[in-house]
């Protein structure tokens, strides 16, 4: 079990504990995480390595049907966090989000009406890379499932491209590293 799978409720009273209860979820939660990681890995491989965006979309659609939009959006942002960690480890530099988004909009890499969604998703991925994983549920509730999933997928693909350019590597190399991290126990 990973530490993120346990929940501590402060102030709850339980036998043998004066201040807190640690709730351990059913083993199915780890299986669900593995399914999300598998779906994200497959979609990323199909999109970046095989250049089949339609098949990547179908993979994500099927994952959303099985696991829900919150889980899939969270998995996409976790994958983006893996790449951002690589960038920070290699360069020890921070990227100015506003400048990056402006440049992406001017270059036509992102539609002007999607900049705000991309900003929220990239910020969430960056927070996760920094060690604080915001839940995807509020993003999905606020933006709606389709817009949130679009934003999370766009953020992941944008992060892969940004990391590849910054580290002078190919997108395939960055994708392979993300896939390896997702496959790790």
For 84, phi and psi rounded to 5 degrees? -65, -35
Question: What does the alpha-carbon distance between residue 75 and residue 132 come to, in Å, rounded to a whole number?
Answer: 14
Output 178 or 15, whichever has higher pLDDT: 178
Percent of all residues in the chain with a pLDDT value above 70, rounded to a whole number: 82
pLDDT confidence bin for 92, thresholds 50/70/90: confident
The 10s digit of each residue's pLDDT in 47-79 is 999 999 999 999 999 999 999 999 999 999 999
Of residues 185 and 98, more confidently modeled: 98
Of 19-23, 119-123, 172-176, the poorest mean pLDDT is in 19-23
- If you write DSSP's letter for every residue of the chain in order, what string do you get? --GGG-EEEET--BTTBSSEEEE---THHHHHHHHHHHHHHHHHIIIIIS--HHHHHHHHHHHHHHH-HHHHHHHHHHHHHHHHHHHHHHH-----HHHHHHHHHHHTSS-GGGHHHHHHHHHHHHHHHTT----SHHHHHHH-HHHHHHHHHHHHHHHHHHHHHHTT--HHHHHHHHHHHHH--
Say what the pLDDT of residue 167 is. Answer: 94
Question: What is the rounded average pLDDT for all residues in the chain?
Answer: 84
Contact 44, 79 (CB under 8 A): yes
CA-closest candidate to residue 43, choices 35, 34, 52: 52
The full set of domain ranges for the chain reads: 29-183
Greatest distance between any 2 Cα atoms in the chain: 60
Residue range 125-140, pLDDT digits in tens: 999 999 998 999 999 9
Q: Find the mean pLDDT for residues 76-90.
A: 94
Percent of the chain scoring above 90 in pLDDT? 69
In this prediction, residues 32-44 reach a mean pLDDT of 89
In terms of average pLDDT, the best of 104-108, 124-128, 179-183 is 124-128
């Amino acid at each position: 079990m990973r530490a993120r799978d346990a929940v501590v409720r402060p102030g709850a009273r339980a036998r043998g504990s004066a201040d807190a209860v640690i709730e351990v979820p059913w083993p199915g939660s780890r299986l669900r995480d593995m399914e999300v990681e598998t779906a994200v890995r497959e979609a990323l491989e199909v999109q970046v390595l095989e250049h089949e965006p339609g098949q990547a979309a179908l993979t994500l659609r099927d994952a959303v049907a099985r696991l829900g939009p919150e889980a899939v959006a969270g998995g996409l942002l976790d994958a983006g966090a893996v790449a951002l960690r690589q960038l920070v480890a290699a360069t020890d530099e921070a990227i100015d989000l506003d400048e990056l988004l402006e440049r992406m909009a001017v270059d036509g890499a992102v539609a002007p009406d999607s900049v705000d969604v991309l900003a929220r998703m990239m910020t969430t991925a960056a927070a996760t890379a920094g060690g604080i994983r915001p839940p995807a549920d509020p993003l999905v509730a606020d933006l709606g499932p389709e817009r949130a999933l679009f934003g999370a997928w766009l953020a992941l693909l944008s992060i892969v491209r940004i990391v590849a350019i910054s580290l002078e590597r190919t997108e395939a190399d960055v994708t392979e590293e993300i896939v390896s991290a997702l496959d790790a126990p």
